Amino acid sequence: MPPKDTEGSSGPIRFVQRNQLVVFIILAYALSWWAWVWYRIDPVNVDAPILPIGPLLAALIVLAIAGGWPAIREMLRKIVHWRVGWKWYALVLLLPVALTLSALAINFLLGAQRVAASEVPDAGQMAVRFVFIFLWIGLGEEPGWRGFALPRLLIGRTALAAALILGLIHMVWHAPLYGVEYDSANVLPWGISVVCYSIVVCWIYLHTGGSLLMPMLMHASNNTIAFVWRMFEGGDQLRLWWIWCFLWVITAIVIVVTTGPNLSRNRPETAIK
């Protein structure tokens, strides 16, 4: 159950305790989006208009107010919850790679031409990229989305409904990247993929005892292999987006059809302890 109001708490603290999810979303957006102003002022020297660490900071702030150290410690425990079985490690690390490389192969079969100047990173570059994404983006985002928001969205909802809502919240959070990494041409396949990704990760979360390490690793794997988009331009790149989107849709549908709206053969544990 959500933490009860602390006796004698001030009005702002009681508000946070009673509206944890809403406060988290507002903070996650605000703590990530403020970089957009900095980016607009100095786009040459600022890497991106969004800070991935915003969701993590938002979760820690709300947990500190609503539940104190015990609540923070519980989330930290889930971040290092690694005893989940080797098959889940294989899945979170290899599924994004398999879907992306399959989309790449299909794109080539449909006549896509690789950009001559594009380069494939070597193993060392890929390893460095993976570690950076895991620590900056995976750790910055997943404890907030899957560690804080998802358990609260699961209360009174099916896992599928919770995953869909979180997918939309996550999609909107990327808004500052519009015009930088996404535009009017590819925003639709990208957005659909984010929602389908949310369904897949929710299923993994429920079957690994709420491990946050698994979503972090999957996020890192997905973003590391994304260099393949630089291999194409124009229509060939847009086709890759739609193929990749289609493969994520199929993956999500298979999970839903196989496990049902709760994404599990049994009713998932949804209470926040």
Digit-coded pLDDT (tens) for 55-103: 999 999 999 999 999 999 999 999 999 999 999 999 999 999 999 999 9
In a domain, residue 225? The reply is: yes
CA atoms within 13 A on the CB side of 208: 29
Is there a domain that residue 273 lies in?
Answer: no
180 within 8 A of 111, measured Cβ to Cβ: no
Separation CA 82–CA 211 (nearest Å): 7
Q: Does residue 249 lie in a domain region?
A: yes
| 264, part of any domain | no
Q: Which of 172, 126, 127 is nearest to 149 (CA)?
A: 172
Q: Is residue 250 part of a domain?
A: yes
Of 48, 1, 57, nearest in space to 26 by CA? 57
Best mean pLDDT range from 49-53, 147-151, 262-266, 268-272 = 147-151
Q: How far is residue 136's CA from residue 223's CA, in Å, rounded to a whole number?
A: 12
In terms of average pLDDT, the best of 9-18, 108-117, 163-172 is: 163-172
State the pTM of this model. 0.92
Tell me if 1 is assigned to some domain: no
Q: For the chain, how are helix, strand and coil distributed in percent, rounded to 5?
A: 70, 0, 30
Distance, C-alpha 107 to centroid of its chain: 25
Confidence grade of residue 273 (pLDDT, cut at 50, 70, 90): very low
Is residue 224 within 8 Å of 129, Cβ to Cβ?
A: yes
Q: 182 by DSSP, 3-state: which?
A: strand
Does residue 32 surpass a pLDDT of 90? yes
- Within a domain: residue 3? no
Per-residue tokens: 262? 């709760």
Quick one: pLDDT at residue 213? 98
At residue 114, the 3 state secondary structure works out as: coil
Cα first-last separation, the chain: 6
Looking at every residue in the chain, the average pLDDT score rounds to: 92
Domains contained in the chain, number: 1
pLDDT of residue 79: 98
- Do the domain assignments include residue 272? no
pLDDT at 7: 53
d(CA 78, CA 146): 10
pLDDT attached to residue 16: 92
Whole-number pLDDT of residue 210: 97
Identify the DSSP state of 144.
I
- Examine the pLDDT at 42 and tell me if it is beyond 80: no
Residue 214 and residue 208 in contact, taking contact as beta carbons nearer than 8 Å: yes
Measured CA to CA, the distance from residue 189 to residue 71 in angstroms comes to: 37
d(CA 67, CA 60): 10
Domain span at residue 57 reads: 11-259
